[in-house]
């Protein structure tokens, strides 16, 4: 299919100093939870993106020295020459598909406690490290500054030796030493590196100049700068110092990579920010420099991308999360198939990998992080290995992905959904405040299934065990989802709570189905992800008085890993939701909720006309159990096996459900798995 000529501008080559990018698609640096401990996995993941058409593929943060050790986070490293082979794997994988490889060199200064190296952190001034460790950074003297510049230069030379085409000088977020020198609140020096903005930018300037001197004849030198910290006068703003730094250094780098800070703002979720949300902060940059500019904004629409280029905002379409959701996004636009793009839903489950020091994952793309470990490719899947037909029961995220991937393999698939609406929990949750983009999980798969003649879809088809046995499929997949509990059992309570059997007690499923509680409402959040906070927001917007009770330290505590924790608190508090943390629900009596301090056990009561329990879910497993209860009947019906997947087996995230459906489809008719069902990176393999 021919490319839409409206998008031709996206495929123009662009020079970046001494190198040329083949198009305008630029995967900006992003972390992945694999880093220096899993270099083969990183190389394979980045290589797939290059295959998918991204012209520039960058690393995550790459530590330049043991005095900037971010353990337990798994980032890249170029501490010494022994790190070069691991990085060379990545550049080779990227170059194999004609893309440029970029490395984001970083010294985090006072943003890290050096837990692994045990080196004393350094910064512009004597201040505590920016994380919660009870550690202070010492103020750097002039010899320290010279040493740090030397470390950066050495790392740049190692990067060139490893095959990188683009070398970063990093002053983004609140995680880099150059940024800390720029910040008035962290730089309290009175020498030539403190005081005026020109002085505070001196270290930044020196790093750029010395990096260009070291590698600028063969490698592009790129600067990443957070032009606005969203802190007003307390921080760098695009109206004042962010703009002045660009003016001061406008022609020095070969490209400007600009964003906002800190990470929770730069990688804001779709719940709190729309596509292109950074434009108001970075639109001024191209007016001040002749060098190309790249920026981000969770871009998934090619029309928006074109508007950014033609509007003089950006020269490159920067992306981290959209490149994770669909590594082949550029290729699909180029081939005239934009409808096949797996659009990022902006949920930040990918970010949780880095924040938990585990391999990256994606709700939309179940192959992310599995390119090397399981040899999974986002676009290629083995053809069917038998003529078995498959019946998938349930068209939620697990069932839809299972049917889609099986259909792609060439199996004859029958997908039965009990109701009229497809998508299961995704359909229901995407109607909650801020979660509309999550509907893309359903929409992408439904659209793909519509093009598969070998997949049949049956709506309003609630199947019994007899129906399944009579259907005639050789394989049966049960993807019937799960239902929220109403009895209070969850993490904090192992027994049903007194008073939760009344009509004024609601589960999230009830609220999503249109139930209308009366106020005051208590939302008991013992789930700790997004659901409790989203429901509290919905009920408050409905005009009810809402109190959110949680045994955790904050509302929706697990959203710390998706960078939403602060945004959630701000949203709820600004709406007038009362948050009561560190309290467990122990009973309700129809007029009050009885709660207890999780530390002291001290009890108290709060008014409660309606209670919404967000605790745990139970699999909808009745069909699965009924089928397994009669193995002889299965055999007589020609059914080889019955498998439960996703929430019907063990309730989890939407990402886990999609992964489960994809895994079943990949592994059907495959040889028996090894004891460890994925490849492991062992010491000494690089």
Residues annotated as part of the active site? 31, 170, 173, 266
**Contact present, 686 and 81 (Cβ < 8 Å):** no
**Please, which contacts does 437-441 make with residues 24 or more away whose CB atoms are closer than 8 Å?**
437/270, 437/343, 437/345, 437/346, 438/270, 438/345, 438/347, 438/363, 438/654, 440/342, 440/343, 440/344, 440/345, 440/364, 441/345, 441/363, 441/364, 441/397, 441/400, 441/654, 441/658
Q: Which residues are bridge partners to 484 per DSSP?
A: 617
Helices 397-409 and 440-450 sit at what angle, rounded to 10 degrees?
30
Count of other CB atoms within 10 angstroms of residue 453: 7
Q: What is the DSSP letter of 342?
A: -
Does residue 191 have a cis bond before it (omega within 30 degrees)? no
What is the C-alpha to C-alpha distance for residues 567 and 434, in angstroms, rounded to an integer? 12
The C-alpha angle with vertex 643 and arms to 637 and 646, in degrees rounded to 5, equals: 145
For 672, residues 6+ apart whose C-beta sits below 8 A from its C-beta are none
- Cβ burial of 450 (10 Å; 0-12, 13-18, 19+) is exposed
Overall residue count recorded for the chain in this entry: 686
Strand blocks (E) in 36-81: 56-63, 76-77
Instruction: Round to the nearest angstrom and report the end-to-end CA distance of the chain.
Output: 41
Tokens of 678: 């994925």
Q: Is the Cα dihedral 225, 230, 232, 233 positive or negative?
A: negative
Q: Which residues are bridge partners to 593 per DSSP?
A: 588, 606
Distance, C-alpha 372 to centroid of its chain: 19
What is the C-alpha to C-alpha distance for residues 397 and 508, in angstroms, rounded to an integer? 18
Nearest of 251, 322, 256, 262 to residue 294 by alpha carbon: 256
The position carrying tokens 């593929």 is 57
Per-residue three-class SS string for 358-397: CCCCCCCCCCCCCCCCCCCCCCCCCCCCCCCEEEEECCCH
For 391, residues 6+ apart whose C-beta sits below 8 A from its C-beta are 413, 414, 416, 468, 471, 473, 475, 476, 477
**Contact present, 485 and 618 (Cβ < 8 Å):** yes
Quick one: which H or E segment has residue 266? helix 263-266
- Cα atoms found within 13 Å of the Cα of residue 386, Cβ hemisphere only: 14
Q: Residue 465 in 3-state DSSP?
A: helix
Q: What is the DSSP letter of 475?
A: E
């Amino acid at each position: 299919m021919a490319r839409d000529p409206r998008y031709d501008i996206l495929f123009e080559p662009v020079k970046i100093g001494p190198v040329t990018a083949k198009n305008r698609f630029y995967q900006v640096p992003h972390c992945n939870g694999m880093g220096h401990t899993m270099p083969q996995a990183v190389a394979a993941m980045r290589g797939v993106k290059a295959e998918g058409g991204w012209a520039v593929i960058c690393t995550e943060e790459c530590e330049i020295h043991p005095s900037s050790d971010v353990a337990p986070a798994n980032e890249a490293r170029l501490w010494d020459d022994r790190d070069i082979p691991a990085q060379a794997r990545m550049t080779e994988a990227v170059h194999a598909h004609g893309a440029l490889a970029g490395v984001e060199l970083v010294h985090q200064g006072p943003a890290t406690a050096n837990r692994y190296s045990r080196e004393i952190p350094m910064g512009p001034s004597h201040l505590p490290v920016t994380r919660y460790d009870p550690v202070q950074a010492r103020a750097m003297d002039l010899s320290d500054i010279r040493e740090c510049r030397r470390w950066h230069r050495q790392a740049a030379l190692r990067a060139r030796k490893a095959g990188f085409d683009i070398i970063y000088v990093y002053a983004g977020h609140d995680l880099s030493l150059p940024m800390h020198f720029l910040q008035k609140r962290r730089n309290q020096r009175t020498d030539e590196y403190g005081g005026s903005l020109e002085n505070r930018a001196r270290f930044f300037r020196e790093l750029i100049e010395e990096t260009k001197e070291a590698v600028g004849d063969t490698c592009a030198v790129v600067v990443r700068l957070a032009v606005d910290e969203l802190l007003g006068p307390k921080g760098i703003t695009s109206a004042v110092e962010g703009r002045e730094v660009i003016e001061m250094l406008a022609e020095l780098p070969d490209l400007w990579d600009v964003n906002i800070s800190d990470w929770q703002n730069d990688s804001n979720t779709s719940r709190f920010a729309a596509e292109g949300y950074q434009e108001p902060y970075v639109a001024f940059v191209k007016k001040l420099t002749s060098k190309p500019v790249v920026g981000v904004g969770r871009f998934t629409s090619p029309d928006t991308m074109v508007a950014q280029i033609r509007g003089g905002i950006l020269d490159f379409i920067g992306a981290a999360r959209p490149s994770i959701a669909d590594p082949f996004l550029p290729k699909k636009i180029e081939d005239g198939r934009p409808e096949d793009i797996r659009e990022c839903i902006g949920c930040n489950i990918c970010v949780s990998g880095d924040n938990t020091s585990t391999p990256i994952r994606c709700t939309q793309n179940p192959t992310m992080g599995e390119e090397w470990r399981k040899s999974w490719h986002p676009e290629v899947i083995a053809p069917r290995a038998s003529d078995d037909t498959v019946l998938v029961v349930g068209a939620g995220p697990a069932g839809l992905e299972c049917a889609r991937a099986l259909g792609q393999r060439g199996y004859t698939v029958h997908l039965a959904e009990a109701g009229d609406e497809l998508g299961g929990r995704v359909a229901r949750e995407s109607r909650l405040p801020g979660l509309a983009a999550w509907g893309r999980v359903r929409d992408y798969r439904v659209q793909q299934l519509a093009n598969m003649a070998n997949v049949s879809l049956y709506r309003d088809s609630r199947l019994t065990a007899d129906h399944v046995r009579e259907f005639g499929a050789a394989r049966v997949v049960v993807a019937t989802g799960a239902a929220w509990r109403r009895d209070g059992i969850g993490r904090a309570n192992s027994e049903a709570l007194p008073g939760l059997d009344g009509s004024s007690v609601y589960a999230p499923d009830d609220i999503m189905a249109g139930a209308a509680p009366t106020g005051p409402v208590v939302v008991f959040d013992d789930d700790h992800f997004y659901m409790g906070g989203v429901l509290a927001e919905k009920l408050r917007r409905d005009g009810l008085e809402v109190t959110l009770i949680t045994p955790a330290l904050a509302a929706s505590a697990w959203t710390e890993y998706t960078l939403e924790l602060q945004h959630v608190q701000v949203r709820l508090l600004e709406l007038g939701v009362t948050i009561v943390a560190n309290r467990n629900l122990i009973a309700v009596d129809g007029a009050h909720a009885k709660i207890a301090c999780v530390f002291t056990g001290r009890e108290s009561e709060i008014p409660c006309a309606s209670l919404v329990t967000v605790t745990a879910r139970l699999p909808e497993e009745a069909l699965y159990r009924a089928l397994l209860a009669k193995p002889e009947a299965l055999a007589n019906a020609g059914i080889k096996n019955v498998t439960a997947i996703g929430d019907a087996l063990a309730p989890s995230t939407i990402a886990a459900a999609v992964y489960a459906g994809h895994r079943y489809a990949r592994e059907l008719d495959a040889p028996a798995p090894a004891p460890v069902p994925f490849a492991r990176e062992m010491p000494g393999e690089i």
